[in-house]
Amino acid sequence: MAVPNAGGKAPKRLHLPLTFLLFLFLVGVVFTGLNLYMWVAYPAKLNAIDSLYGEISRRDQTINRLDKENKEIQPSIERSREQAKRLEEIEKMEAEAKLLIDAVKNKGSRAVPTTSSRGLILRNRLSENISNEVVGDDGIDSRLATLDRNLNILDKELEERESAVNKVLKDLKNTVYVLDHTPSVWPVSGRITSNFGLRKDPFTGVSKRHNGLDLKAYTGQPVKATAAGKVIFSGWSSGYGYKVEIEHGNGYRSVYAHNSKLAVKYGQQVKKGQVVCYAGSTGRSTAPHLHFEIKKSGTPMNPSTVLSQF
């Protein structure tokens, strides 16, 4: 670089170091690059940040909407849970009904009609009228309305099903009770030695009405109740000797006489097949046996006829 002077002498040259020139060049490049970044890349970054903030805002709105919908649907969810519990209880009742039907069948009654003959319908699933419509963009209100309609249908069906099962259970329990309290069990396994009706008195030889059956038995042989009931007599009774009499209900009574020993007391509740006394030859008797009577509304009945129904 030449610098003129006033004395007319030759101009002096200014020499700048190469490193300084390189430094100035690099500064210029960096400055130019920063300007380009500020004009081109930075606005793009700002746009990306704005988009990110927008996405976060939309997600917050979605979360708030879902939270609102969740709160709105909670009552329906609780209602469906209650329905599930109710259905579980009904299924338990149906299982009990099945057991009672089996019990009635095992008793093999031909004298008492069983409720099972009326038919017990146990459905594996509830109504086929449940709406299967798929709601698209109709919103939570429309979906909740559909859900409520379906829950109302289930409520009605559960009520009808529960009522039907309750009625069947009541009928079955009554049938089981009647069967348990209806004479059906032979008190001993011995053969009949004297029939019901007119016969010759073993002591006088005169024809006389025999109001029961004489069954062959050995002294001390256990005697079982022909049906469940309440003991209305247990003790000594003139010509009967040691006697047990049981009130079964539905007009039935049974008598067990000439026993050697009593196993129950007055007022005691007994089950069908329970040992109530032990056979013998007490009272007006010629040999060890069991005198067995069945009465219906006070009228003596032939035990063979009554028990043959089972």
Q: Which domains does the chain have, with CATH numbers?
A: 45-129+136-180 (no CATH), 192-307 (2.70.70.10)
Q: What integer pLDDT is reported at residue 138 of this predicted model?
A: 57
Torsion angle, alpha carbons of 190, 271, 242, 260, to 10: 50
φ, ψ dihedrals at 12, nearest 5°: -90, 145
Q: What integer pLDDT is reported at residue 9 of this predicted model?
A: 59
Q: What integer pLDDT is reported at residue 291 of this predicted model?
A: 97
Query: In this structure, are residues 162 and 90 in contact, taking their beta carbons and an 8 Å threshold?
Result: yes
Average pLDDT per block of 10 residues along the chain, 310 residues long = 54 66 74 70 74 82 78 78 82 83 68 41 45 51 76 83 86 88 94 92 86 96 97 96 96 97 97 97 95 96 86
CA distance 31 to 26: 8
Q: What integer pLDDT is reported at residue 11 of this predicted model?
A: 61
- Give me 4's structure tokens: 């003129």
